Structure 1
Amino acid sequence: MAQFEMEIAAPTLPLDAHSTDKDILRLQEWLIVRGIGVGENSNAQPGTAAAVGIDGDFGPSTEAGCKTFAAAADLPPDAVTAAFWQTLTDGMATAFRFRSTHPNVGDAVIETARAHLVQRPVEARRFIDGELRGRDNSGPWVRAYCLGHSDQWCQGAASQWVKQAFAALGRPLPFPLDGPGIAPLYVPSIVGSARRHSCLALGASFTPIPAGSFFFVRGMINGQPSHTHVGVTISPIRPDGRFDTVEGNASTDGSHNDWEVCQRTRSRTTCDFGVLA
């Protein structure tokens, strides 16, 4: 079973105060990523799940969150049923089951990335009093992108979109994103794979970069030049060197280690590229 199917699979229903802690935790995470609060704990550290009410306790705040979601979705307010759970998780199902019909590689990658973007994948964190609280790199979207792990997830997300697009086309990838000798969630490992297959284009070069390519942000790891972030390009590179992206583990405020899938604009001068077409 694919990881996303495990994330959307229903727990023992209906969910209520007598359910297991594990099932309640999943419910609370899903409510949080759908923008529904389940309480807060001012005594908990801001970087913990408990700070945003993810604690495995089906208390009044979680019950209120369920009623809020049910009302917004036009569902009965009195139980977390199969219909409730399906509606709660249908954005992930829609994104991961999407299949582009574009015959062009770049267009298929862009359309697939946008299909995920529109579902607004986010970590299981939320803003409280202007502060982003909750556990970093957590929640069902992160695990779905990261093979079940709670990890930095930009590469997992970008690789998912590319694999999904190529699967729809029925075409092999131009360079492997997993398998022997490749760390599938580690950006430098994927850069190395692109380089070995002559698919890496340096930002400082004059190589044309098709829309629908990987971009790799250059940076430092352990004091050495490397690559620290990744996403996909969704536009050609313009004469001023700028291009539009869809990327995960980022945010529109400029960070590339943040909490959502978002659309941004970047500069060729800071990136190298994995050409897929």
Structure 2
Amino acid sequence: MQKIAFQNELTISTVQQRNGANNTKKDVRKIQSWLTLFAMTNAGAATATGIDGDFGKATEQAVKNFQKAKGIPQNGIVDQATFDLLAAPMRAAFLSTITGTDLRGLVVSAARQHVLNRPFELVISQQPNSGPWVRAYMDGNEGREWLWCMGFVQTILDQAASVVGKDFKQLMPLTYSCDVVGTTGLQTGVLFRYNQIRLNPALMKPGDIFLLQKTPNDWVHAGLITHIGDDFIETIEGNTNDGGSNNGNAVLSRVRNFRKSKLDVFSIEGLV
């Protein structure tokens, strides 16, 4: 894999604890982020806390509550073993085995593996598009301006392609921009316009990338196609929400009507 920023989100430099002499703001923020993410799927655990890099009494109690939820000693201290439990969803998303008979199957498998582990962004220092999942998809970058739908798409392509010894950059440059990918597709002849797709849905296949068109040379959102129906596609996409926003806060599985939306499709056939 070439997009390996996720590895930085799976470790802390040393044990972190309340008023610890070796505490670092970076590691404490990681801990607080994962505690807050845990609370999103375990609402009664009382682990959500401020993400400020200060390991005080509140963070210590949140850690104890997490440890209680996991059935381990409640000492309020985060060593690597405890942090491994906190960051387990990302470890599962990136490092569990994906299966498929070809690259397309691997892309769909990897995308489903991620969505099952509930990637979600956080607001840190009043900046949306932040947190460990965003940094993993965006090569360490985060913040208001770092829209991460294409970062997610390329991460999945990279993860799947690496299984079969291929380089996703043979299809497109490493980028966070939907416009760059769309323009590349036009230049290389692998981008099908939405009117072509409506006339011939067979042009798109699972594993391909949809690009939501604003104007013919401006695309505002992207995701991966996992299934194709009569008038709809099922997708897995990042930086979206329940309403299908192009600047939401999660990785979600969605259904989109390709006959009513301007969905151009970038084919990955050249890498298959």
Q: Deviations over 1:53-91 (max 9, x none)?
A: 111222232122111211111221102122111111122
Q: Secondary structure at the match of 1:265?
A: strand
Match in the other structure for 1:13? 15
Q: Which runs of 5+ in 1 are unaligned?
A: 40-52, 127-132
Question: Identity, % of aligned pairs?
Answer: 27
- Taking structure 1 as the reference length, the TM-score comes to 0.83
In the aligned structure 1, how far is the partner of 2:78 from the partner of 2:247? 33
Equivalent position to 2:33, from 11, 29, 33: 29
Q: Deviations over 1:14-38 (max 9, x none)?
A: 4332223232222111212222644
* 2:194 aligned with 1:203: yes
RMSD after superposition: 2.2
* 2:82 aligned with 1:84: yes
How far off its partner does 1:218 sit?
1.1
Match in the other structure for 2:243? 253
Counterpart amino acid of 2:11? A
How far off its partner does 1:217 sit?
0.7
More helix by share: 2
Q: Secondary structure at the match of 1:215?
A: strand
Equivalent position to 1:271, from 258, 263, 266: 263
Distance 1:264 1:134, change over 3 A: farther
- Taking structure 2 as the reference length, the TM-score comes to 0.84
> Does the 8 Å CA contact 1:174/1:199 hold for their aligned counterparts?
no
How far off its partner does 1:172 sit?
4.4
In the aligned structure 2, how far is the partner of 1:121 from the partner of 1:254? 16
Q: Secondary structure at the match of 2:122?
A: coil
In the aligned structure 2, how far is the partner of 1:228 from the partner of 1:32? 29
How far off its partner does 1:185 sit?
0.4
Match in the other structure for 1:242? 232
* 2:122 aligned with 1:124: yes
Counterpart amino acid of 1:136? P
Equivalent position to 1:159, from 154, 166, 180: 154
In the aligned structure 2, how far is the partner of 1:118 from the partner of 1:219? 30
> Does the 8 Å CA contact 1:199/1:274 hold for their aligned counterparts?
yes
In the aligned structure 1, how far is the partner of 2:56 from the partner of 2:18? 9
Distance 1:177 1:65, change over 3 A: farther
Counterpart amino acid of 2:132? P
In the aligned structure 1, how far is the partner of 2:94 from the partner of 2:246? 23
